[in-house]
Structure 1
Amino acid sequence: MTARGITDRRGRGMTLVELLVVISIIGVLLAISIPAIQMARESARRASCSNNLKQIAVALHNYHESAKRLPINIAPWSFGPKDIPQHNGKGWIASILPQLDQPALYDQLSVGFDGDFLSGGGLKDPRVLPAMQTQLSILHCSSDGSVRRLSADQFQWDGIEVALTSYKGVLGDSIVGFPQSIHNGRLPDCHADGGCGGLFWRVTYRQSRTLSDVRDGLSNTLMVGEDVASENNHSTAFYANSDWATCAAPLNYFPRPPRPNDWWDVIGFRSRHPGGAQFALGDGSVRFLSETIDGKLYRALSTRARRENVQVP
C-alpha cells in the first residue's frame, strides 16, 4: 500500500448519511431519557410531599393526644365578656407548630391582639409579622412553585407578604353559604352541620373536634389535603380562615381564567401532581386520589359522621 493510500484512509471523515444516523440515535436517546428524568423528579417531589403530609398528620395526632381534641379550625384572637370568642386569630396549622418542632414560631403567633387580626391591623403588629412571613418547608409541596412568599395584595392585605401553605384541612362536602357555587345550589349548604362537616368544619369553626367524632372510620375519612396557593386568595399558612378547603368542588378543578377572589370557584383541593392529589387520612396514612374519582365517593370520604359505607380507592 502506498503512503498516499494510507493518508487518504486516515483523512476520511463521516459521510452525511453517517452523521444523520448518529443524530437520529442521539435524538431517540433524548426522547427516551428526558421523560424518564422528568418522571423521576416528579416521583421524588411527590414522595417529599407525601412525607410533609405524614408529618402534619402525626403532629395533629400528637396535638390530639395532649389536648384531647384536634386544633380549632379558626381559633379566636381575643375573647369578649364571659370568655366568648371575638375576632379571627390563628388557624389550626399555627396551633400545631410545637408538634412540628417550631415552638418559638408558635410563641410569636400567640400574642394577644384586641381586634380582628386583619381589619384591626394585627397583621402589621411587629410582634407578629416576622412569624407570619416565615415560610416552612414542611408546608411547601415542591411540585407547587407558587408556595413562596407571594405578595399579600393578592389576598387584599395591604401588600404585605406572608407565608403560604400547600396543605389545607378538610372542611367536608359543603360550600357553606355560597349559593353561587359551581354546583348552582345542588349541594346542601349544611349550616346546621347535619353530617356533611369534616374534621375542620368552618361554620362551627370555634368548636374543636375529636377523633372519636369520626364515625365513618379514621381510615376512610380525609383529614388534610393539597391545594395550589396561587389559585386562590385563602392560602396563608397561619391565619384563621385560610387553612381549609372543601370536597364539594371536584378534585383538581382549576377554573380558567383563574378567579382567585371567587370562593365558590377556588376552595377545592388540587395539586400540581399529574392526575390527582394527596391526602392525609384520619388514621395518619397518606393516599393519592385520582382526579377522576367518583364525585359522590370523594364527598363521602370528606365527611366524618354521615356513616357512608365507603372506602378509599
Structure 2
Amino acid sequence: MNKCLQRRGFTLVELLVVIAIIGVLVGLLLPAVQAAREAARRMSCSNNFKQIGLAIHNYHSAYNQLPTHGTGTNPLLTAEKTANGPWDHHRSSNMGNRMRLSMLVGITPFIEQQAIWEQISNPMGTTYPAMGPTPDVLAYGPWATEIPGFRCPSDPGFGLPALGRTNYAACVGDSFSTHPHGPWNSYRTQRTGEEGSRISSRGFFKTLDKTRFRDCLDGLANTIAAGEIATDLGDDDKRTVNWRDNSNKSPTWGQVRNNPSRCKSKVQADRPQFWDPIHTVDVNASQGRGFKWADYQPTYTSCMTILPPNREVCGPYNSAGVTLVSTMSSRHQGGVHVLMGDGAVKFITDSIEAGDETARQISNGYRDGHQSPYGLWGSLGTRAAKEVISEEF
C-alpha cells in the first residue's frame, strides 16, 4: 500500500495548540459578548423607565394630578384622627394599608397590569379590603408579585426576604427630614399652613400629598421624576442597605441631618462598595432597598438627590428605613438611569456635580424655595427652587 495514501491524524501537540488558540479567542471575545449583553439589558431598563414615564403622564391626563406617593386607606382611624394624618404607619395591618402605597400602585393600569390592579382595587372572594393590607403582608398576592416592568434586567435580586422588588423609585427631592410625614408635622399634629412641607418636600413627588405638573416651576425637562435603584442582595452593599449601630445608638437623626454623608466613614477602604465588617450593620433583613414595590417608604420606593448616584444610604439608627438619605443606584457601570418630568430617560454618571455633601439638610431652618446646596444634582431633584440648569447632563 502506498504510504502517501494513508490518512494521518492530529498529534497530541497539534490538538493542544488548537485548543489553546480556541481558548485565547474565547477569552478575547467573552468581554465583548458580555458588554453587548449589558448594553441590551441597559436599553431594556431604559425602555421600562420610558413606559413608567408614559404611565405617569397618562395618569395625570386622566386624574389631573400625579399618582400620590403615600396614599391608600386606613379604616382603623376615626374621621377626626384621619384628618391629622396617617396613624401608626409602621404597624402591619390586614384591615388597611395605613396610607403606605407607593405611586407605582397607582400606575399599574397604565403599564398593562390591569389584572394586578383589579386584584388590588376589587378583591372579590378574599378577606382583604379594597386597596389591600399594608405592603409588608407576604400572604397578599399582589404585594409579593414581581412586575417585569418594575425590574431592571441587570439586577439579579430575587426572592425572599423581599416581596415584589422594584428598581424604580419616586424622586422626593433633596431633603429626607420630613419624608414620612408629608404635610404633617407628626402623625398627630397638622402643620400650620403646611410651611414645613413646602420647604422640605421639594421633589417631583410630595409624600402623602398630591402634586401636579403645574407645580413643577423649574420645568418638567429640568426635574427628575424618578430614579433607578439597585435592590439588596444580602451582601452589605452600602447602596442597598442602611448602616446603623443600634447598640451604640448611632447615627442619630441630628447627626445625619447636619451631615448627610455621616455614614461614609463606615465603608471599607479596600472595597468601597461595601460596609466595613468591623462596624455594625444592624438592619432587619426585610429592609433592603427596593424590597417592596408597593411601599412608599424611602428604603423601598423613594430616592433623593442629596448624595451623588451609587453612594451609601444612611439614616438614624432607630428609623427602620423610614427616615433615610437614599440616593439612586444601579447595576450598570458608572451611573444610573433617571426619568425626567417630561418623560425623557437620561443616564447620569456618578461624577455629576453634587455641591457640598456635608451641607445641613433642607428643613424648617431654610426659607421656602432656598437653592439646593447639593449642586447640579440637587437642582435636578427640586421642582420649584428656580435654579437655572445651563449645561447638558
The CA distance in 2 between the partners of 1:44 and 1:125, in whole Å, is 33
| Alpha-carbon offset, residue 22 of structure 1 | 3.7
The CA distance in 1 between the partners of 2:225 and 2:57, in whole Å, is 11
Deviations 1:236-277 (A, max 9, x none): 111232321112132012579xx9966777721100011111
Which of the numbers 125, 133, 150 marks the counterpart of 2:160?
150
The CA distance in 1 between the partners of 2:313 and 2:136, in whole Å, is 29
Q: TM-score, normalised by structure 2?
A: 0.62
* 1:64 pairs with 2:75: no
Unmatched segments (≥5 aa) in structure 1: 153-161, 179-189
| Alpha-carbon offset, residue 26 of structure 1 | 2.5
Unmatched segments (≥5 aa) in structure 2: 87-97, 123-127, 180-194, 233-239, 242-286, 355-374
In the TM superposition, 1:9-28 aligns within 5 A as 10-11=7-8, 13-14=10-11, 16=13, 22-28=18-24
Q: Which residue pairs with 1:246 in the alignment?
A: 304
The CA distance in 2 between the partners of 1:293 and 1:71, in whole Å, is 29
Q: Which residue pairs with 2:345 in the alignment?
A: 286
Q: Which has the larger radius of gyration?
A: 1
C-alpha contact (below 8 Å) 1:133/1:149 kept by paired residues? no
| More displaced stretch, 56-65 vs 20-29 | 20-29
**In percent, how many aligned pairs have the same letter?**
30
Which of the numbers 10, 27, 35 marks the counterpart of 1:31?
27
Alpha carbons of 1:149 and 1:250: their partners in 2 closer, same or farther (altered >3 Å)?
same
Q: Which residue pairs with 2:171 in the alignment?
A: 170
C-alpha contact (below 8 Å) 2:178/2:201 kept by paired residues? no
The CA distance in 1 between the partners of 2:32 and 2:323, in whole Å, is 38
Q: Which residue pairs with 1:211 in the alignment?
A: 213
- Structure showing the higher helix proportion among its residues: 1
The CA distance in 2 between the partners of 1:100 and 1:218, in whole Å, is 21
* 1:101 pairs with 2:99: no
Question: Secondary structure of 2:199's partner?
Answer: coil
Paired positions, count: 277
Deviations 1:61-104 (A, max 9, x none): 00000110101110032264166254323211111111122233
| Alpha-carbon offset, residue 117 of structure 1 | 4.6
- Structure showing the higher strand proportion among its residues: 1
Amino acid at match of 1:91: S
* 1:81 pairs with 2:79: yes
Alpha carbons of 1:255 and 1:76: their partners in 2 closer, same or farther (altered >3 Å)?
closer
Alpha carbons of 1:177 and 1:24: their partners in 2 closer, same or farther (altered >3 Å)?
same
Alpha carbons of 1:261 and 1:195: their partners in 2 closer, same or farther (altered >3 Å)?
closer
